Structure 1
Amino acid sequence: MGVTLIVNPGSSSKKFALYKDDVRVLDAYVESGGDGYNVCTLLKGVQQGCTTINRRRFHESLNDFLQKAKELNLINDLFDIEKVAVRVVAPGTFFQEHKVLDVGYMQKLKSVEAIVPLHIPHLLKEIEIINKELPHIKLLAVSDSAFHSTIPDFIREYSLSESETKSHDLYRFGYHGLSVASVIRRIHAVVGMDAERVVVCHIGSGVSVTAIKNGKSLDNSMGYAPGNGLIMGSRAGDLDTGALLTLMQIKNMKAIDAQNFVQTSGGLKGMTGDNDLRILLERKVKGEVLATKAIASFVYQIQKTIGAYTAVLGGLDLLVFTATAGERSSILRDLITKNLSGIGIVIDQDKNEACISKNGVISQMGINTKVAVIKTDETDEIFRITKTL
């Protein structure tokens, strides 16, 4: 009996999955909502129900998941689990490969912890729990940036000297690679065609846009670290260096303080006090000025990136929306596509409103550029990779 556990600790959520003889038998998704965290469990793809837990239980949710697996007789005990794979979001050429997670890997991960304050501290805590509960298992690190290793050097390199670039490993690594790869793998099944030129908009607490040419990553809006690029929930994205240096001087911040500040107090949270797109869209409907302006900035940046990637791809065959907000919010998709008819993007309002948290094509009939919602499945992508390690 081959049992694999998948652990995906994100910046504001956790996902767990159990595979038994290559079959996905149990899932749990934990995300912030209201005054606590919502936990939804699926048994062989069928939702079993959702509950609300507090912050303490959120931190212990892996233990609860393993207990649930035993209660359902999916495993007899924890020794049935042979492999555990975790999603790793970290900058560096070292982290652009899938690897066995050993002591040396942990040391390297801790060395870049401060650069990715929304991901690595959570990951390290999760690894600590895994090592405590499952000390016998083979632990695998699955890279979130490996998919973007195909980005050409002239795109991934910064305007620095070659010696500085290489000696300090400063490249645009790109992120959300597992999500994008899972989407690309299912385009034909959802859209009914193999698209050559694709732009994928991953919109969740983290936000990125990826340009795909013939199934390979050409560019990604995130750069060296996952805090770069577009406006996100609490991440400022591409903040002008002059503005950042001025802010550091005024607030007397060290580099590590500035790194933490722009990733935890920037973005929509910094602009409005709230990092939840659902709440901000509601505030916008009520006519609140701050929320309206923040959503306008958020949408503009995504539109601009879609336009830029359409240009470098030499046209666009397919635009994809994925991740929580991209899959669930027809309002957000409408706002983003509203001014893009000039590059051939036009959606059907009825199709758009009907496509909530499910796969589907939402573009108008007869339009050359297809627009689709394709649910991300990082979990299956991670499992597929574990079979090669």
Structure 2
Amino acid sequence: MSYKILAINPGSTSTKIALYEDEKEIFTNTINHPVELIDKFENVEDQLNMRRELVMSNLREKGFDIKDLSCVVARGGMLPPVKSGAYIINDLMIDRVENRPVMEHASNLAAPIAYGIAKKAGVTSYIYDSVMTDEFTDIARISGMPDIPRTSSSHVLNTRAMAIKAAKKLGKRYDELNIIVAHLGGGISINLHSGGQIIDLVSDDEGPFSPERAGRVPCRELINLCYSGKYDKKTMQRKLRGNGGLKAYLNTLDARDVEKMIAEGNQEAKTIYEAMAYQIAKGIGELATVVEGKVDLIILTGGIAHSKMLTSWIEKRVAFIAHVEIMPGENEMEALAFGALRVLRGEETAREYTE
């Protein structure tokens, strides 16, 4: 028996959809939402009907009848902490993301869009590997400041999908391996998968800098800068997220631009780019200590993992820990679809969302 799965992944100015039949991608499409259209809405929640209708009209244009669907799967929104894997979308989840989300975010639209389409199709809808996945051990939550406990926030969807895929390639079960996965994108996070759970991580604000984020910076100097009177809160937030990292040093968010600078002999660009690799390697080494060095595999994934220059620098520093597998790309739509497929095949069990 084959399964047809519709995956939905809303972003700030686009909604990505993909249709899969089992592991085969039938089509994928990014529905762009012009800024002038988005600006007409007071908040993200008000965009729901607009985005859902665009998804439906896109499916009609493709000549696809939703009655042929086996399920609909969506990116997880800003819920209170949940476990990894699949959750059945129910009325309680919809109420939470629509009326009481942890924070406003485009991903909050995913479950309502999926729920509405699935109801019309007469099938079940799921979220899979929510960004709010939290499987930390108690000791991992301690930060050193009681006011600021460490929280679990990272690129769960892609990193977990790549870990599962790599384990299968090795002929092993995902839950019997210790795998460190570094997601290298606009933001960089590094996860430790052990016993089938993400038990610790280096988040995008406590580890390596990235194309647009400053990462971990000296706290005392950060406090001094915040109270210097030079910058307001919004500007400081942008210095950390949006205008940090490569953008701050080299005025570009594109790793390809940096590599071009290096090829043209720009020594500063080489130093900064190698420093990013250096910090990523440090983050991987940091997580290796959590499992006492017993790491079965290191994975480098995300868009910047296409950079052979960067990945070679990282691999050189961490290969002594474990074999390094390069699995470039974001892979989010595939991750959603394959996760739902495992549920449909009975390889995983979907949880019921409760509060």
- TM surpasses 0.5: yes
Alignment partner of 1:305 is 2:289:
no
In 2, the alpha carbon distance for the partners of 1:294 and 1:108 equals: 41
Instruction: Give matches, 1:255-274, under 5 Å.
Output: 255=233, 257-274=235-252
Identity across matched positions, percent? 19
Separation of aligned partners in 1, 2:23 and 2:166: 22
The Cα of 1:251 is off from its aligned counterpart by: 4.8
Letter in 2 for 1:272: L
SS of residue in 1 equivalent to 2:228: helix
Work out whether residues 91 and 173 of structure 1, in 8 Å CA contact, stay in contact via their aligned partners in 2. Answer: no
Q: Distance in 2 between matches of 1:305 and 1:281?
A: 23
Match of 2:103 among 98, 102, 112: 112
Contact 1:15 1:27 in 2 (8 A): no
TM-score w.r.t. length of structure 1: 0.66
Per the alignment, in what secondary structure is the counterpart of residue 199 of structure 1? strand
Match of 1:198 among 170, 179, 202: 179
Q: 1:175 to 1:136 in 2, by over 3 A?
A: same
State how 1:272-311 maps to structure 2 within 5 Å: 272-311=250-289
Q: 1:57 to 1:6 in 2, by over 3 A?
A: farther
Alpha-carbon distance change, 229 to 55 in structure 1, aligned in 2, over 3 angstroms:
farther
Which residue among 63, 66, 72 is the counterpart of 2:62?
A: 72
**In the alignment, is the contact (CA less than 8 A) between 2:278 and 2:313 conserved in 1?**
no
The answer to whether residue 145 in structure 2 is matched with residue 186 in structure 1 is no
How far has the Cα of 1:250 moved from its partner? 2.9
**Is the CA contact 1:6–1:86 (under 8 Å) kept in the aligned structure 2?**
yes
2:129 matches 1:102: no
Write the mapping of 1:146-157 to structure 2, written as runs, cut at 5 A: 147-149=133-135, 151-157=136-142
Deviation at 1:260, TM superposition (A): 4.2
**Residues 284, 58 of structure 1: alpha-carbon distance in 2 compared, 3 angstrom cutoff:** farther
2:8 match: 7
Instruction: Please tell me whether residue 371 in structure 1 is matched to residue 306 in structure 2.
Output: no
Secondary structure at the counterpart of residue 174 of structure 1: coil
| 1:198 CA drift (Å) | 2.0
Residue ranges of structure 2 left out of the alignment (5+ in a row)? 39-49, 345-349
Change (3 A) 1:196 1:85: closer
C-alpha contact 1:11 1:205 (8 A) present in aligned 2: no
Whether contact under 8 Å (1:237, 1:267) holds in the other structure is yes
Indicate the larger mover: 288-297 or 262-271. 288-297
What secondary structure does 1:184 align onto?
Answer: helix
Question: CA contact under 8 A between 2:72 and 2:118: conserved in structure 1?
Answer: no
Does residue 175 of structure 2 align to residue 213 of structure 1? no
Number of residue equivalences: 320
Larger displacement relative to structure 2 (371-380 or 241-250) = 371-380
Give the deviation of 1:81 after TM superposition: 6.7
Q: Deviations over 1:212-232 (max 9, x none)?
A: 23433232111xxx5543212
Alpha-carbon deviation of 1:277? 1.4
